[in-house]
């Protein structure tokens, strides 16, 4: 592990202990997340609730929000943005008509369709060739990881990682057969903290 300049042995020992505690916390969080995923289905929704849409001409039923999928991301925007936030306002869409100081927080809204200013894509194969990733880090259930691994191999990703708690022998076989570096059941953030660069 890399040492910080002029660090003491006491600091290094305390830092290693902290990193081990963080790894243990991560394991506990994964355990709680597994319990959450194992919950039985909740009650059926008795009616197709209708939601008013900003700028929409008609209410939209909850069944329409899923667009054929089984997961719905719900995110609350922070309005208005902080008074000293001078980042640009949206250039298109329904929020572009709002005055700068009344618009949503750019950091909050970025999570919906981008991450740190990068556009999100529906699949790895939809990525432009210039954006081929060095690492494909997969956060899916073990049973759902294989299609993503197949896409990673298809685009020639050099490294494929299945996050902590995710193991898929067929995914390993496919990745290794394609010559990709492969790790499973690991958290890259924890590995980096424990082992440094």
Label each residue of 52-91 as H, E or C.
CCCCCCCCEEHHHHCCCCCCCCCCCCCCCCCCCCCCCCCC
144 and 184 fall within a common domain:
yes
Query: What is the b/e burial string over 78-98, where b = at least 16 CB atoms within 10 angstroms of the residue's CB?
Result: eeebeeeeeeebeeeeebeee
Picking from 26, 182, 72, the residue whose alpha carbon sits closest to that of residue 61 is 72
Of 83, 100, 119, the domain-final residue:
119
Question: What is the average pLDDT across 43-60?
Answer: 77
Residue 176: its pLDDT value, please? 94
Of 69, 86, 119, the domain-final residue:
119
What domain range is 62 assigned to? 51-119
Picking from 154, 151, 156, 131, the residue whose alpha carbon sits closest to that of residue 140 is 151
Question: What is the average pLDDT across 98-108?
Answer: 75
Query: What is the reported pTM?
Result: 0.45
172 and 129 fall within a common domain:
yes
Cα–Cα distance, 122 to 155 (Å, whole number): 14
Q: Is the pLDDT of residue 1 over 70?
A: no
133 and 153 fall within a common domain:
yes
CATH number for position 129:
3.40.50.720
């Amino acid at each position: 592990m890399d040492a910080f300049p002029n660090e003491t042995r006491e600091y290094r020992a305390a830092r290693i202990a902290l990193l081990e505690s963080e790894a243990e916390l991560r394991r506990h969080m994964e355990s709680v997340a597994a319990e959450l995923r194992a919950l039985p289905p909740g009650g059926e929704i008795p009616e197709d609730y209708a939601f008013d849409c900003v700028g929409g001409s008609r209410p939209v039923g909850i069944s329409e929000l899923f667009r054929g999928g089984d997961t719905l991301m719900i995110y609350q925007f922070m309005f208005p943005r902080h008074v000293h936030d001078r980042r640009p306002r949206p250039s298109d869409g329904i929020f572009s008509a709002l005055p700068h100081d009344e618009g949503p927080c750019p950091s909050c809204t970025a999570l919906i369709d981008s991450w740190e200013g990068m556009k999100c894509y529906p699949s790895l194969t939809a990525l432009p060739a210039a954006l081929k990733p060095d690492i494909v880090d997969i956060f899916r259930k073990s049973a759902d990881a294989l299609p993503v691994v197949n896409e990673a191999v298809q685009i020639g990703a050099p490294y494929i990682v299945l996050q902590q708690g995710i193991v898929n022998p067929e995914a390993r076989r496919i990745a290794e057969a394609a010559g990709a570096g492969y790790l499973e059941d690991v958290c890259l953030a924890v590995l980096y903290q424990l082992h440094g660069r």
